[in-house]
Amino acid sequence: MKLKELITERRNPATENLDTMSALELVTAMNREDAVVPRAIRRVLPQIAKAVDMIAARLAEGGRLIYVGSGTSGRIGALDASECPPTFNTSPEMVQFLIAGGELALTQSAEASEDSAELGRSDMAARDPGNRDIVVGLAASGYTPYTISALEYARSKGASTIAVACNCGSALGKAADIQIEVEVGPEVLTGSSRLKAGTTQKLICNMLTTGAMARMGYVYSNLMVNLHLTNKKLLERGIAILESLANVSRDVALQVLESADMSVPLALVILKAHASKSESVERLRKAKGNVRKAIEG
């Protein structure tokens, strides 16, 4: 790999005077460059959709989604994984992350670890990936040894693999079953992949987990029915969801929610299916947590 040949490492001619720009000129230039990202992602939506279906299928089988990356990419994977339990009330084991340098790398620079293919293999081996799991490798360059070796190891053990990179024809892509490669051009600040490349990866991760959870029925309509009611704001959100979807008063929503052990999905099935608590529990069990299927029986 010749680093200077990668699009993510080239100088951006539009921002060669970055250090002499006024604040308004600078943020205008950044905003203009950022607008490239959604247009570029639009071109790979079929690949992202294929990945969403694959993730949903593996998770429905009891498998795990494991993000792996280094530096900015690793932190983006960690962010998306950590958002799944509060958003969808999933277990921390369902969506996980690996980052080169370990969890210390979330707050401190550990970029030297990204050069170790051996570390990537050993870190992934410790997760014991299998044929029900799916591993998403994140790397702006697409050539990070740690991430490539982790993905290759997981694939050798039967796990499904997805590559998310910002250079086409990448080594990471070649190591994966599904390639999501989005070229967004040189960064405003040369080589700073936390900018457009980072935004690209974040938007794709948003699609992967939100799409998979929706396909699995962890949402109902466009509402977060699987949310965990851990504070006043979330309690009010849960009540509002029941009021809206079941067309009941706030008092009725709260009463049923309390009888359902503060479980929004269970309360929703009770209300929408006109079923008892025990029957609703059984409906959800048979539907594997898919709220719509549980309601429809």
Q: How many CB atoms lie within 10 A of CB 240?
A: 13
Q: How far apart are CA 151 and CA 178, in angstroms?
A: 12
Please name the residues in contact with 212: beta carbons below 8 A apart, sequence gap of 6 or more: 52, 55, 56, 59, 65
Smallest CA-to-CA distance from 139 within 198, 66, 188, 206 is with: 198
- What is the DSSP pairing of strand 134-139 with strand 160-165? parallel
- As annotated, the active-site residues are 83, 114
- Side-chain-side CA neighbours of 208 within 13 Å: the count stands at 36
Which one-letter amino acid corresponds to residue 203?
L
Query: What single DSSP character describes residue 289?
Result: T
Smallest CA-to-CA distance from 120 within 138, 134, 141 is with: 138
Q: How far apart are CA 91 and CA 95, in angstroms?
A: 8
